[in-house]
Amino acid sequence: MSRIWHWCVLSIILVCTMLLRIGLLDRIPPGITGDELVYVITASSVRFFGTDLSGTWYPFSVFAFHYPPGQLQAELPYFILLPFISLLPVDLFSIRLSGALFGTITVLLMYLLGRRLFSEQVGIWAAIITALNPWMLFISRTAYEVNFSVPLYLTGMVLLLSLNRWKKLLSLIFFLFGFYAYVGTKIIMLPLLLATCIYLLYEQRNNNVPQTKYVLATAISGSIAYLILAAGIVLAPLNRTGELLTPFHPSLSGMVDMLRAGSLVLPFQSLVINKVTVFTGIIATKLFETTSPLYLFNQGDAFMDIWRSGLLYWSDAALLLIGIVLLARTQMKVGLFIFSAVLIGLAPRLLHSTMTPQFTPHISLVFPFIFLVIAYGVAQLLQHLRSYRLRIIGVVMILAVLGYQCMSFLNIYLGAYPMRAPVDMSSRLMSNYARLASMQDADQRILVMAPSTQDILLKYAFYRGYLNSKDGIDELKQGRDKSMLGNTEFISCNMRIQEENLTSILLVDARCPLTEKRGFDASIIRHSDGGALTYIMGDTVCTQSRIKAPQQMTLDDFAIERLGKDDFCNAFVRR
């Protein structure tokens, strides 16, 4: 009966998890980023033509680290996105449905991992905490590669910990898929595999379970596979190995020279200023910045650009401390395993050559193990309550606190976040304005001026539906070279407008350095501060618009492609 009850609770958690991730997915986040789009464009071309837009790259060659021209992205996401964009129209909902689905699978895996390492109760609490966590909610509503790598690595761990005898080798399939899913976490595949194998060997010694040869076979096979793949990356004509920070990285020489040049020459200078000490200092700085409570619990980073929310809830801080103390007292071996996994999860950030203080996708695998510690702390706290009634009150109180904080996050995420026009929402608004202008006059020429013509052209193609048909992809292939799609031409900010284009509608990205802003009829704005996103000259679409006040905006206004002309103009265009 207890097992049936746990599965019923888990089913409810998974349904709620999926609803939180697919609700309003066509509206929030309100735009697509270049990192998401690169996979969608290539996968759409593969769907119809079997190659990328250039016609020179074939999809399965990516597993040998041969990439489409101009792309050095992860290998697996092209294939993960393909069924979603083949079965559904290519839009914001379909491409992000993959992230929502894998995010829900992650919640299930957290239950399985918590149950395997601790108990059913810990597994249930790990699932709840993962389902409601702000970072997990944010990232699983996107199409970023990290959505795929985390559940694939976790699946490998769960299988390795749970399967018996030679079946353990099946876990290597998912470790390898995790390796191919995200460039940023490639370096952790082997350490994570070996850490899990070492934990199994210690566990079996205590339980007298004869699994040694199977665990060693898995560790050796995984090591060989990893070394072969690493050699393939290093030998590939184009790779990103230069992003891996080591004491021998070329950038460290310049730092050492700069530090020595700014110091008096002392006898021991070379001992304290050298590549090793500079490297160690960088690692230490990144470690403190990445584990900063301000970053984790209060404001996040520029990637999760919500700013009014941390990656974890404030209540998680107390529960995390409780979990750490209880783990150290009662489950030291499991605690050491989790601690080693956290250190491994930090490695992609610590060993990346960029000096930016935080970049959350790089530490994405840290969070599942933090959730496990928090879940263990919650389960142990409730277990120490002597009466059944007190335990029920404790459960209700913890769920109430988590639920309230989740509602607070959703209020920011669904209410304030879209008003700032994040994730290049300006391209979506500009593309919809062009759609409305074309509907009004099919022969109307439109000129778009932006910092990057290729970026805006590809986003325009996505929002205008060119990726939904073979003819659309074919037109995109041809139009990319001419910087023109249909009646819309794309030029860079520093180009002069030709005389024959003076009769066109001119849309100018606000990031273009304009010396003169007179002559523009209207502008597409963001509501957070009223600033312009796109300037419009020759406006024929929104001549009667009456811009809404921010308080009058609703979530329906962010279903942008479904808005009629008047609704769109009143929501986003100011004259």
β-strand partners of 484: 489
The length of the chain is: 575
Give the confidence band of 209 by pLDDT, cuts at 50, 70, 90: low
Contacts of 498 (CB under 8 A, 6+ apart): none
- Work out the burial of residue 66: count CB atoms within 10 Å of its CB; fewer than 13 is exposed, 13-18 middle, 19 or more buried: middle
- Work out the burial of residue 195: count CB atoms within 10 Å of its CB; fewer than 13 is exposed, 13-18 middle, 19 or more buried: buried
- Range list of H helices, 163-274: 171-181, 189-207, 212-235, 250-261, 269-272
Q: What is the pLDDT of residue 500?
A: 54
Rounded to whole angstroms, the Cα distance separating 302 from 314 reads 19
Question: pLDDT tens across 341-400, in order?
Answer: 999 999 999 999 888 778 999 999 999 999 999 999 999 999 988 888 999 999 999 999
pTM: 0.95
Could you give the angle at the alpha carbon of 310 between the alpha carbons of 306 and 315, nearest 5°? 145
Best CA proximity match to 10, nearest among 170, 169, 131, 116: 131
Strand ranges, E, within 355-487: 446-450, 484-485
The number of beta carbons lying within 10 Å of the beta carbon of residue 261 is 7
Alpha carbon 268 to its chain centroid, in Å, reads 45
Highest mean pLDDT among 32-36, 113-117, 476-480: 113-117
Contacts of 471 (CB under 8 A, 6+ apart): none
Give the confidence band of 412 by pLDDT, cuts at 50, 70, 90: very high
Question: pLDDT tens across 238-263, in order?
Answer: 888 889 999 999 989 999 999 988 88
pLDDT at 174 over 80: yes
> What tokens appear for 10 in the block?
């888990």
For residue 556, give Cα distances in angstroms to 80, 115, 208, 226, 544: 30, 41, 60, 48, 21
Residue keyed to tokens 């299988």: 159
- Look over the chain and give the mean of its residue pLDDT values, rounded to a whole number: 92
pLDDT at 567 over 70: yes
Q: What is the pLDDT of residue 1?
A: 44
pLDDT at 440 over 80: yes
> What tokens appear for 55 in the block?
């016609």
Residues of the chain above pLDDT 70, percent: 97
| Mean local confidence (pLDDT), 187-210 | 88
> What tokens appear for 196 in the block?
């899990």
| Mean local confidence (pLDDT), 523-538 | 91
CA distance between the termini of the chain: 66
Considering only the C-alpha atoms of the chain, give the largest distance between any 2 of them, rounded to a whole number of Å: 84
| Mean local confidence (pLDDT), 427-446 | 91
162, 115 contact by CB (below 8 A)? no
Rounded to whole angstroms, the Cα distance separating 285 from 289 reads 6
Give the confidence band of 504 by pLDDT, cuts at 50, 70, 90: confident
565, 464 contact by CB (below 8 A)? no
pLDDT at 334 over 80: yes
Rounded to whole angstroms, the Cα distance separating 201 from 144 reads 35
User: Residue 302 belongs to what H/E stretch?
Assistant: none
> What tokens appear for 478 in the block?
């041809």
Rounded to whole angstroms, the Cα distance separating 29 from 144 reads 12
Q: Which amino acid is at 162?
A: S
Give the confidence band of 208 by pLDDT, cuts at 50, 70, 90: low
Give the confidence band of 194 by pLDDT, cuts at 50, 70, 90: very high
Rounded to whole angstroms, the Cα distance separating 341 from 215 reads 18
User: Residue 525 belongs to what H/E stretch?
Assistant: strand 522-525
Give φ, ψ of 508 to 5 degrees: -115, 120
Q: What is the pLDDT of residue 548?
A: 80
Give the confidence band of 517 by pLDDT, cuts at 50, 70, 90: low
